[in-house]
A and B are shown apart, each in its own frame.
Chain A
């Protein structure tokens, strides 16, 4: 099973700042099989990025994904108030598919 380690656990930033979230798989993951989700309290996760760098339908261009192998990054260029949430990375190249433990992005 591929373990995804996300860092930091919590990130405290202000609106307008840039956020950089990390996801490191325990073994190499092909880029096309890495996704990012946003989850707000009481809601289901929402797909942001698939294939490591492709934005899902309706996702603003301030969200971008990059990386390969064992090092992936989600960047939010300028934080909006609605971006403060928990973010999960997800690998779906091998069964069982697995998720990172999440990064909580909170308002500083």
Chain B
């Protein structure tokens, strides 16, 4: 079945980096964009950026420019999100989500299970 499976929970110290993976299966990996969204404890959803697994294009939310990098490995159908210079406010659950359209922006029809990232000294 179509699914996105994310890597496990992480605990990081302030100033460190974290890299979260999102493995896609059950569909043509290169045909659908992937978004990253985070949710701080008890809060709403915050969009971080989008990557085209079929090419090299990315677009990041201004808030994360310079701190976030999204990449993909087509051989393993995996997308990665790396966030650097972590601070306590980055403590959140990070989700990858598939864009349902095959031509750029659309609703998010498949979500990963989420990866909890805790930033604490």
Report which A residues bind B (CB closer than 8 A). 33, 35, 37, 44-47, 50-51, 56-57, 88, 90, 92-93, 95-102
Contacts and interface: CB of A to CB of B under 8 A. Distances in A.
Contact of A92 (B44, B45, B61, B107): B107
B76 interface: no
Given A35-B108, A50-B109, A51-B107, 6 more contacts: A44-B112, A45-B111, A56-B107, A92-B107, A95-B50, A99-B37
B105 A47 contact: no
Contact of B107 (A50, A98, A100, A102): A50
A46 B111 contact: yes
B47 interface: yes
20 contacts: A35-B107, A37-B108, A44-B114, A45-B45, A45-B95, A45-B97, A45-B108, A46-B111, A47-B100, A47-B107, A47-B108, A50-B107, A51-B107, A90-B45, A92-B107, A96-B62, A98-B47, A99-B44, A99-B46, A101-B44
Contacts of B37: 99
Given A45-B45, A96-B47, A99-B47, A56 B112 contact: no
Contacts, number: 55
Categorize the interface residue count of chain B.
Answer: 20 to 34
B105 A92 contact: yes
Contacts of B97: 44-45
Nearest to A1: B62
Contact of B111 (A35, A44, A95, A99): A44
Interface of B: 35, 37, 44-47, 50, 59, 61-62, 95, 97, 100, 105-109, 111-114
A104 B25 CA distance: 32
